[in-house]
Chain A
């Protein structure tokens, strides 16, 4: 038995125990969310910490009419943002990652510097701008600012991704006669899919969960995205925790399904960076 293996074995039990505690700490809020979402108000006050039986599905029935509308709204906002972010991240990342031009690094620094600006500082100027462009009340009031925030990290990730792809692939394509557009469509794009998957996941997480900006700009209750709609179940004087948490669970499911579907690509993309 190697020394290494013996050392591993010696620490195995405390290590596993520590991991178990960490896993429990991570998982408990989700379990708490699930447990509360299937409790009646009485059950909630009877047993605060854990599941109670029988499950009360009334909360879901109560929130679904509003939540389903919000999910559709959010899908619209997120999809619109995603399309813009993916196209611009691909183009920007490719340009910064694979092309040579004077001032490239300065231009890139200018883009990355945007990451340093706290989002909250931009709320007022952004609101004034969106209002001046007469976009308030339209989906673009959410889609364009969301895309504006997300393309920065998107371009950053895609640049790193493209820089790590072997240059010989692009040179080979060039020698074979591919023009710039063909290079982008037939070489860069297929190779960039894992990277784009990563950008897409990060973008979806952001747009789906964003609360503050929609709260400020969306006045119409029927156009609320999920984060704002879910918050709506928290009344002014009392909180219906069962309904609130059922709404949280409902709005999380689409994102979870998407994440599970693309998690392998996501990890591949992160490895590629």
Chain B
């Protein structure tokens, strides 16, 4: 088990910079999830950590030892690929023991470790089968088995669930969480799926355009996003943004006016951090914070364009007067709103998010969530 430290990592493909000044500390036993949209450089970063790709600048340390030029095999990492990368010509047991056989470990040790892995991963009945005769979930487990028999210091996962169907994905997600608990190993997991990130991760590294946007606990990136990108990326449906203007600031709040939103001046509890009266800003509203005909002080009225009835909930889409953008709101599943009708939503001013014109978020000050506090305390511990 080990810590992983990335310092000032730069990587280029030719002249294109795909990783820019990456600085991340991953603690021993962390389940770190690298989250970001396609092409953000998350898989490249994982491959750089694994030693499958070279980086041009910066230091990678695993367990305190700098590994910049160490070959992949000697970094003490186990990696799970999106395609599982099982050797099609080898049986399950040969696949699992591949690394140990290549390293010339004793037959007795190989047998013991394979049996142990097969027991943990419920693969005992399949040891003599070829990968082509296994289901997606079983193949996934064989790939995990291949990693765990070598007892690596760090496990690397490259979108391991993306080839599975929805039901199996939930199942495997739980199994991975259990595996992390039982092995207490450091794991780094790449995904574009925020649900995987939120449910599995103890630490989330949000990436965009080759840069780390924010590192934090799952609820931290949800409640205290560092910028507009993170705020928009985390949460489903996405956060919506409305234009506004700063009317005044105090040490603990920023008063803003947002066209189409009442009252005319809303006092948002957040650190002003350089904002002053007259500045253009954007406020962010999460669909789940809006309450249909609620009693909170901030009110928004919009013209209903579409309502999606999902069963467990409904999503309302509509236009707000004086704003070009569409708003999305979460509706209770029993509510009915007709297309073309006006709908009024309310929300707590503490639930508003504030961003400057460069997209930097202002730290919110009245975030009241016990789970967030617990996660933060655990992260500090």
Instruction: Write the residues of chain A forming the contact surface with B, with a CB cutoff of 8 angstroms.
Output: 166, 168-169, 171-179, 182, 186-187, 190-191
> In the complex, are the beta carbons of B87 and A175 less than 8 A apart?
no
In the bound assembly, the distance between CA atoms of A169 and B84 in angstroms comes to 9
Cross-chain contact A168 with B85 (CB below 8 angstroms): yes
Closest chain B CB from A3 CB (angstroms): 33
Q: Is the CB of A175 within 8 A of B52?
A: yes
**A119 CB, nearest partner CB in chain B, Å:** 36
Q: Which residues of B contact A187 (CB under 8 A)?
A: 87
Interface of B is mostly: loop
| Number of A-B residue pairs having CB atoms within 8 Å of each other in the complex | 62
Q: Does B364 contact A (CB under 8 A)?
A: no
Judge whether A176 and B146 touch: CB under 8 Å: yes
By the criterion CB–CB under 8 Å, are B98 and A173 in contact? yes
Distance A77 CA – B90 CA, assembled complex (angstroms): 34
One of B52, B87, B102 near A171 (C-beta < 8 A): B52
Chain B residues touching A, range:
20 to 34
B150 at the interface (CB under 8 A from A): yes
**Residues on B facing A (Cβ under 8 Å):** 50-52, 71-73, 77-79, 81-83, 85, 87-90, 98-99, 102-103, 146, 150
Measured CB to CB, the nearest residue on chain A to B156 is A175
Contact A171 B81 (CB under 8 A): yes
The 8 closest A-B pairs by CB, nearest first: A176-B99, A172-B85, A168-B85, A177-B73, A190-B89, A168-B81, A178-B102, A177-B102
Tell whether, in the assembled complex, residue A172 and residue B81 are in contact, meaning their CB atoms are under 8 Å apart. Answer: yes
Task: Say yes or no: A176-B102 contact (C-beta < 8 A), given A187-B87, A190-B89.
Answer: yes
Whether the pair B103, A177 counts as a contact (CB closer than 8 A) is yes
A178 to B51, CA, bound (A): 14
Query: Nearest residue in B to A170 (C-beta to C-beta)?
Result: B85
Tell whether, in the assembled complex, residue B88 and residue A175 are in contact, meaning their CB atoms are under 8 Å apart.
Answer: no
Q: Which residues of the partner chain A approach B150 to less than 8 Å between Cβ atoms?
A: 176-177
In the complex, the answer to whether A174 meets B52 with C-beta atoms within 8 Å is yes
6 residue pairs of the A-B complex, CB under 8 angstroms, read A166-B83, A168-B82, A169-B85, A172-B79, A175-B52, A175-B99
Which residues in B have their C-beta under 8 angstroms from that of A171? 50, 52, 72, 79, 81, 85
